[in-house]
Structure 1
Amino acid sequence: MAEAHAAVAFSFSITHEGWDVNFDREVLNLVYQSGVRSWKKRIARLLNNLHNGIYPGHYSYLCVIISLVSIMHLYGYDVPFNLPSKILSISPAKSIYWQLGACTISSVSYWLSAVFFLRYSLKMLFMYKGWIYESPVKGSKPSLATKIWATFVKAVGSWNTPKLYSYQSSLPRLPLPSLNETMTRYLKSVRPLLDDETFNKMEKLADEFEKGIGRKLQFYIWLKSWWSTNYVSDWWEEYVYLRGRYPLMINSNFYGIDAIMLHPTTNQAARAASIINSLLRFRRLLDRQELDPILLQDMVPLCNWQYERIFNTTRIPGDEADKIMHFSDSNHITVYHKGRYFKVIIHHKGRILLPAEIQMQIEQILKDTSEPQPGEEKLAALTAGLRRHWADVRQIYFSKGVNKLSLDAIEKSAFVVVLDDFPYEFDMLDPTKLDNYGKVLLHGKGYDRWFDKSFTLCIGNNGRLGFNAEHSWGDAAVMSHLWEWVITEESYEPRSDAPILAHCLEFVLLDEAENIRFDHNGNALGNPEFTPPPPSRLNWDIPAQCQSAINESIYIANKLIEDIDLRIYVHDNYGKGFMKSCSLSPDAYIQMALQLAYYRDAGKFCLTYEAAMTRLFREGRTETVRPCTIESSAWVKAMDDKNTSVEKKVELLRVACTTHQRAYKDAMCGKGIDRHIFCLYVVSKYLEVDSPFIKEVLSEPWRLSTSQTPHGQTTKLDLKKYPKCISAGGGFGPVADDGYGVSYIIAGEDLLFFHISNKKSCPTTDCHRFAKKIEQALADIRQLFFEYNELKKD
């Protein structure tokens, strides 16, 4: 009865004096504040959309034009195209009011014409990609074409200050390569992997495809490239992610780790409160579009459409395909602790709760001694198991009643927070601790992360943290930006809502001066301004049959966990500083080291995947770079050839790195191989046409899947001043059963992190052994340049 009473906003009864109404003011006030906040966000979105709709124009220029046109017309001067007079010729009167009205209409026409001219001029300018291919060597000068292009970009873009999504309509479409270009690039990429006989067979298949069915498939993709915003992204999201029936855990989701060189507090509740507050502040910047758009060369924007789904987003399981559900707003988060789920309100009177207030809520959860309800503790295993199984269970047991209400609370939350009851540890002298740290974030226990949510924030009981992110809504670069912003903001960004810190120097680092987020006891700084709403337990009614279904998913999850191995190798012998001193791209340098390490590990080359972003184009996501090339394989073989001179090895390495850089830039500019072939495959399936060439291409496994974790996306991050303020990166599972998943981050001038995964069931792969091979490869390349420099001196 008490629960039923709390569920209503008011009660009434009939007396001899009439109606007696008792309003629950607290609930009505909560509803009122929620409505006010919702309308404020709608108005803000409307204003932002209007701003973005006319970018790079501005409303102030409209006022200026109206004034000029009105003055010119009233004083008898000629106005361009004589629009006011033409409008007056069809007006019922010629009074001053009609004349001003005609001038206003004319001015709006002039202004809109200028706006569209500027916008399409910007789009045409962004289609130029010559600047990417010009040498980044220090002291080199850009070409005349690039100088002219840069001048126009700055001139057109300087008319207005951009918001986060201002550039979206000015970004060009992803270009569609010709069949011949893709076939040529593909054959060149597989040459080092195939013997002469097999390669000749592939050449014949490619030629038949290009001259045959490929033309028809290409025609349909050409139509799609003109009709849709991006000819790849929607199909990539649907067929690669949402139609996958495999478990998300390990196979798709990825993770990110804390800034392990810093440990601001061991208080779990305080650290959770601090990061939750920072995440919500980032969400507010997104909602208001106050986050600065990322600009390459301070001029060229990246597409930001993925940012819209970072928060309030979940993946809903389906029978044949999942779907992504994004909610426009959410005023709560979901917290999981010791098998129980809590709904936590995170707004009060139009503002985000302060860290000290959130800490009070987290502490209440940590002190709660109630037991999980039947089936509640391992409920999230459903999100870790097979998708069709989860879809069936969801429909049967979670489509109505209390289960639906509680599931809605999780899926509609801003994000999920997991408070683990064990520490996340890091020790340079004990690598296994960092390995376990990564495993905890990658899969946990298989039932203590909500793998469907856009991301789950995980916090150890010693205050260290990380995240697990779902992949279909966006790519790792977007989560990396969020994570970098949060860690940086917590580490040395002055807090506007902490008056006690007003006197602190700007950009104070945690381990060098006063801690700006936590007091000497490790609690969140500042005083609560009110007692925040207490967390509320989510209620469940999970019958025995549903618990059995949960156990089926737990079995699947445990099998995956038992089979995965992870090694996080910390390379602190040197970093990008030495690589740049060799006049080589750090990314190309590392990719060549991985090629050398894999060849020594497996005794052969393999098809290698590296992700490159295509966000220079509207709704761009990623493209594949193939680091295993003719040039890289020649260098790898030369490294272990005693008859090859040092000079020759260095020359081959430079050529291999140059080739890799060129391929990476081609991929960024829409000249990749694999997304085009993927779209050809999708069309062939729709037309029910089999292609021996495409079948052969898609049968090749990616035994080495690699990705660089980007950083430096936040303008306030200065690693030269604060080299410890960076995440250790993150990782993912292997793509092939007999392959490796390798993620790496160039964390500083002298620090690299490699996250290496493999399946234990494969007898030929071992992430610990492969880490040693990477270490040796990096050492050998450095020794190569030491010897080369000594020879140059002589």
Structure 2
Amino acid sequence: MFNISRIPQIQCDTLSLPPPPNDSDARKILVLIHDWFYAVEVLDSHLQPLSAADIERRIADVVDDVELRLAAGEKAPPVGVLSADERDLWSVNLHHLLSLSHTNHAILRTINHSIFALSLDHSVYVLPSSISVDGPSHLPLPSPCTVPELTAHLHNVRSGPAPRPAHNRWFDKPFSLIVEPNTRAGALGEHSPCDALVPSIVAEYAVVQEIDGDAFGAHADSKRPVSRAPGWQRLDWVVDEHIRNECIAAEDRARILVADSDDGILWFDEYGVEWIKNNARFSPDAFIQMALQLAWYRTRKCFTATYETALTRVFKNGRTETIRTLTSDGRAFVLAMSDPCGSVQVRQSLLRRAIQTHTNLTRHATTGRGIDRHLLGLKLMLRPEEGERHELFDDELFTRSQTWKLSTSGLSAGNQFRGTGFGASYPDGYGINCAEIIKFGIESKVSSPLTSTEEFKSAIVEALHDMKIISESTVASHL
């Protein structure tokens, strides 16, 4: 996830090649402020980290340089917005951008080879519903660690400043650290080179490490001239009128996507995974997945194919496999919970069977005995341009079985994470991220009359509550 980038190409993107260790760009981070791009060297020639004071000084110099440019009336072309656009359009625009100047080639090379991206935002994100005609600066910010404040923070990580989404970002870097002026910080991960679990572990590792306050100089708040010391450089794109217009168009498209994103968080605190394991004696993951199945059915009165990520990292180059959460046993449990005449004993039995089935499927998926990646491999081996096809891949049931309107995944324990999340895979579905502490990041689309993040959050809470009652009855019967 370090020192590489996703590169847009028509129909299928690629990843940049890692730089050699002696490449000076490999020792830099990409810094974005007010849409300007900078490269800041943070490792020495032996690839050892510089002191915190040195890195702080260099970043502070970059900030001072931006302030001077703003005072002079300069305005950066928001080239980073193009990386938020539809991939084929981005590929065409990048090709045009590179055709303008060799300087742009050098900038892209530095970006691709840099360790990761750091976005220093110049405004604190507030939810669009809270923005007055006078702008967000005239409103009091929500109290820390409240749902509105956490939601606003996650929205900023997701899409950037509210009035101008996708600015001050380079979405093709696998790891971007994003900091707001009130010190809220979050990480944005680009999924292609690594699974979400990897950057989440890295981010939490960084958070839990103690910060040595003595390592930072006392000059942090002092006013001083730009030192122009070596260790950082401007990365100023050469643009033309076409690129400027494309940036405006890309921002307009990004704004539509952001406005359609109903993104929220749910922290469930009635009980946690320890209670599920030690009291109810169930697999927490399977238990939560059954709660999601129940919540979906109660809000939609139907069933849907459900995707859950399983890691196959026990194999060389292993990435993921699909745990197909919707099963006959899971369906039977959900229907029993919806039957007003269903007994507690029957519901107990069906819940236990559904959880055992899900646990078995998880084991199969993680040990190479899933089906979806094998089928995907076979499908990709076909050459449709030569007329090759197979009736399985044209079958309607096969297509429906992979229409993941419930797309779910988990991260690390995430004790330090205030929230997580990713997007829905279908316009009338949900993207759900959950961690060992029972908390969810949920995203759906405003434009769909069939979904509502708030309604689904309520349905999950109700499902988890009802399943606790059943589980407590199960424990009592065992005693």
| Range into which the TM-score falls when normalised by the shorter chain | 0.7 to 0.9
1:374 and 1:396 mapped to 2: Cα distance?
Answer: 24
1:669 and 1:378 mapped to 2: Cα distance?
Answer: 45
The 8 Å contact of residues 426 and 437 in structure 1, kept in 2 or not, is answered as: no
TM-score (norm 1): 0.52
Deviation at 1:792, TM superposition (A): 5.7
Deviation at 1:625, TM superposition (A): 0.6
Of 33, 38, 56, the match for 1:342: 38
Of 173, 179, 187, the match for 1:459: 179
Deviation at 1:489, TM superposition (A): 2.3
Mark the CA change 1:595 to 1:467 in structure 2 (over 3 Å): closer, same or farther: same
State how 1:310-349 maps to structure 2 within 5 Å: 310-325=1-16, 326-329=18-21, 330-348=26-44
State how 1:213-362 maps to structure 2 within 5 Å: 310-325=1-16, 326-329=18-21, 330-348=26-44, 350=46, 351-362=48-59
Match of 2:425 in 1: 735
Match of 1:708 in 2: 410
State how 1:292-691 maps to structure 2 within 5 Å: 310-325=1-16, 326-329=18-21, 330-348=26-44, 350=46, 351-368=48-65, 369-371=67-69, 376-399=76-99, 400-423=101-124, 430-444=146-160, 445-490=165-210, 533=230, 535-580=232-277, 581-685=279-383, 688-691=387-390
Deviation at 1:596, TM superposition (A): 0.6
2:460 and 2:293 mapped to 1: Cα distance?
Answer: 9
SS at match of 2:187: strand
Q: Give CA-to-partner distance per residue, 1:640-664, whole Å, 9 cap, x none.
A: 3232221221111111000000000
Of 743, 762, 771, the match for 2:457: 771
| AA matched with 1:475 | D
The 8 Å contact of residues 384 and 447 in structure 1, kept in 2 or not, is answered as: no
Mark the CA change 1:320 to 1:628 in structure 2 (over 3 Å): closer, same or farther: closer
Deviation at 1:621, TM superposition (A): 0.6
Deviation at 1:446, TM superposition (A): 1.4
Q: Give CA-to-partner distance per residue, 1:526-576, whole Å, 9 cap, x none.
A: xxxx99635322223211111112222222211211111101111122111
| AA matched with 1:343 | A
SS at match of 1:542: coil
The 8 Å contact of residues 53 and 215 in structure 2, kept in 1 or not, is answered as: no
| AA matched with 1:345 | E
Deviation at 1:359, TM superposition (A): 1.6
2:219 and 2:103 mapped to 1: Cα distance?
Answer: 38
| AA matched with 2:42 | I
Deviation at 1:396, TM superposition (A): 2.1
2:144 and 2:467 mapped to 1: Cα distance?
Answer: 24
Match of 1:41 in 2: none
1:342 and 1:636 mapped to 2: Cα distance?
Answer: 54
Correspondence 1:762 to 2:464 = no
The 8 Å contact of residues 484 and 711 in structure 1, kept in 2 or not, is answered as: no
| AA matched with 1:675 | R
Deviation at 1:597, TM superposition (A): 0.6
Mark the CA change 1:439 to 1:522 in structure 2 (over 3 Å): closer, same or farther: farther
Q: Give CA-to-partner distance per residue, 1:231-284, whole Å, 9 cap, x none.
A: xxxxxxxxxxxxxxxxxxxxxxxxxxxxxxxxxxxxxxxxxxxxxxxxxxxxxx
The 8 Å contact of residues 329 and 353 in structure 2, kept in 1 or not, is answered as: yes
Number of residues paired by the alignment?
440
The 8 Å contact of residues 5 and 15 in structure 2, kept in 1 or not, is answered as: yes
| AA matched with 2:159 | H
1:643 and 1:790 mapped to 2: Cα distance?
Answer: 21
The 8 Å contact of residues 729 and 745 in structure 1, kept in 2 or not, is answered as: no
Q: Give CA-to-partner distance per residue, 1:299-349, whole Å, 9 cap, x none.
A: xxxxxxxxxxx1110111223322100223412111111222122111345
Deviation at 1:395, TM superposition (A): 1.9
Decide which moves more: 347-356 or 595-604.
347-356
Decide which moves more: 416-425 or 729-738.
416-425
Deviation at 1:593, TM superposition (A): 0.5
Deviation at 1:465, TM superposition (A): 1.1
1:358 and 1:655 mapped to 2: Cα distance?
Answer: 55
Mark the CA change 1:780 to 1:659 in structure 2 (over 3 Å): closer, same or farther: same
Mark the CA change 1:666 to 1:532 in structure 2 (over 3 Å): closer, same or farther: farther
Query: % of aligned pairs identical?
Result: 31
The 8 Å contact of residues 597 and 773 in structure 1, kept in 2 or not, is answered as: yes
SS at match of 2:186: strand
SS at match of 1:537: strand
The 8 Å contact of residues 276 and 284 in structure 2, kept in 1 or not, is answered as: yes
Deviation at 1:588, TM superposition (A): 0.4
SS at match of 1:462: coil
Structure 2, unaligned stretches of length 5 or more?
A: 126-140, 222-226
Deviation at 1:426, TM superposition (A): 8.2
1:740 and 1:552 mapped to 2: Cα distance?
Answer: 28
2:151 and 2:32 mapped to 1: Cα distance?
Answer: 23
| AA matched with 1:765 | T
2:419 and 2:409 mapped to 1: Cα distance?
Answer: 11
Mark the CA change 1:469 to 1:787 in structure 2 (over 3 Å): closer, same or farther: same
| AA matched with 1:636 | V
Deviation at 1:377, TM superposition (A): 4.1
| AA matched with 1:632 | G
1:462 and 1:637 mapped to 2: Cα distance?
Answer: 48
Match of 1:694 in 2: 393
| AA matched with 2:444 | N
TM-score (norm 2): 0.85
The 8 Å contact of residues 36 and 236 in structure 2, kept in 1 or not, is answered as: no
The 8 Å contact of residues 77 and 239 in structure 2, kept in 1 or not, is answered as: no
Deviation at 1:737, TM superposition (A): 1.2
The 8 Å contact of residues 331 and 346 in structure 1, kept in 2 or not, is answered as: yes
The 8 Å contact of residues 179 and 186 in structure 2, kept in 1 or not, is answered as: yes
Mark the CA change 1:408 to 1:730 in structure 2 (over 3 Å): closer, same or farther: same
| AA matched with 2:403 | P
| AA matched with 2:185 | L
2:114 and 2:142 mapped to 1: Cα distance?
Answer: 31
SS at match of 1:392: helix
